[in-house]
Structure 1
Amino acid sequence: MSFEEKTLKSERIYEGKIVNLRVDTVELPQKKYSKREIIEHAGAVGILAVTKDQKIVLVKQFRKPVEETILEIPAGKLEAKENPADCALRELGEETGYKTSKVKKLLEFYSSPGFTNEVLHIYLAEDLEEGIAHPDEGEFVEPVHIGIEEALEKITKGEIKDAKTIIAILAYKNILNML
């Protein structure tokens, strides 16, 4: 059985700086019809940065959609046709001041494929050199350094709630377990 939905009509509802919203009319496999609200997003990167003393670099940042200050890995939106590894290095420098020439792609995933096409690329950054953070205008972040075990504990206690951060930390822990 094919699960594919054939798009019959697509209507752009909103165009924004970060996301666009469209509504697609689709034909379902059993020849019924439905509407799909889809948020288009250019994609993003997250960087799990590890210092020489094996601390993970997170940033503390207020996130308006959830009305909370949360801990997350440095991250940012891909610019048009930007290479994800270049974006990772740019965001690492902007949000933490750290620089490196050593980044390795860990994985990529869909953030929430039920309503958005956003792909997140997660990188590991090691051999960090300290520098001065230069966040974007209107971006307020504070770097925080924690060990892997403390990070895992914060996930378990619900103190780290950001999905990309949880995924990145668990992927890194898995790598450490394989060594």
Structure 2
Amino acid sequence: MKKFEEETIHTEKIYDGKVVKLQVDDVILPNGKKSKRELIKHPGAVGIIPITKDKKIVFVEQYRKPLEKTLVEIPAGKLEAGEKPEITAIRELEEETGYTTNSLQFVASFYTSPGFADEIMHLYITDNIVPLEHEVAGDDDEFVELIELTLQEAIQYVKEQRIHDAKTNYAVLYLQTLERM
């Protein structure tokens, strides 16, 4: 066994939902003791940083039930089975914003909550967005409003915690870093 690796000796499936699967694993720790790990299995997701011709970032504002509040976020969504992240990124951009692009640049991939979930987020950026000619139907249970902000306005939203999720904070920090280089 590797230095920090835990050996799974039993897995109990708890829930198999539309977005996540929950399980509890019994493990043997590196020191030989037993423990339990509560895990969330997730298919992965994408986030997109769409930038308009006049250098504004397109965000969506939406209500987040787990937080019982509204957040301003970059467009994002869950990978469908077998779907490449680039395809998901364009689909989510179209569904959530009414824009499309033929030019995506990969930024990074990162785990969102590695202490209990395996969700990986793939982040893309595009500064070549154009309005769709025809509206694309989004999810029936998703209600969003577009907000276009300058980088400085986005930084202020972070300070005010109107932007308060990891992927969007990452996106704003990434753009802020680009400005300094």
TM-score range, shorter chain: over 0.9
Which residue of the partner structure matches residue 174 of structure 1? 177
Which residue of the partner structure matches residue 16 of structure 1? 17
Which residue of the partner structure matches residue 164 of structure 1? 167
Instruction: Give the partner amino acid of 1:13.
Output: I
RMSD value, Cα: 1.1
Write the distance in 1 (CA, Å) between the matches of 2:168 and 2:52. 17
Superposed, 1:141-156 pairs within 5 Å as: 141-156=144-159
DSSP 3-state at the match of 1:54? coil
Contact 1:39/1:117 (8 A) holds in 2: yes
Deviation at 1:159, TM superposition (A): 1.9
Instruction: Give the partner amino acid of 1:24.
Output: D
Deviation at 1:133, TM superposition (A): 5.4
Structure 2 residue runs of 5 or longer lacking an equivalent are none
Contact 1:26/1:34 (8 A) holds in 2: yes
Write the distance in 2 (CA, Å) between the matches of 1:133 and 1:96. 9
CA 157–135 in structure 1, closer or farther in 2 if over 3 Å, else same = same
DSSP 3-state at the match of 1:129? strand
DSSP 3-state at the match of 2:99? coil
CA 133–96 in structure 1, closer or farther in 2 if over 3 Å, else same = farther
Cα-to-partner distance string for 1:35-72 (whole Å, 9 max, x where unaligned):
00000000000101000000000001011111111100
Deviation at 1:156, TM superposition (A): 1.7
Moved over 3 A (4+): none
DSSP 3-state at the match of 1:25? strand
Indicate the percent of aligned positions where both proteins have the same amino acid: 48
Which residue of the partner structure matches residue 52 of structure 2? 51
Q: Tell me whether 1:127 sits opposite 2:128 in the alignment.
A: yes
Which residue of the partner structure matches residue 99 of structure 2? 98
DSSP 3-state at the match of 1:102? coil
Q: Tell me whether 1:64 sits opposite 2:65 in the alignment.
A: yes
TM superposition score normalised by structure 2: 0.95
DSSP 3-state at the match of 1:99? strand
My pick for the range that moved more, 158-167 or 37-46, is 158-167
Deviation at 1:173, TM superposition (A): 1.9
Contact 1:55/1:146 (8 A) holds in 2: yes
Which residue of the partner structure matches residue 87 of structure 2? 86
Instruction: Give the partner amino acid of 1:164.
Output: K
My pick for the range that moved more, 39-48 or 169-178, is 169-178
Structure 1 residue runs of 5 or longer lacking an equivalent are none
Deviation at 1:139, TM superposition (A): 1.0
Contact 1:45/1:121 (8 A) holds in 2: yes
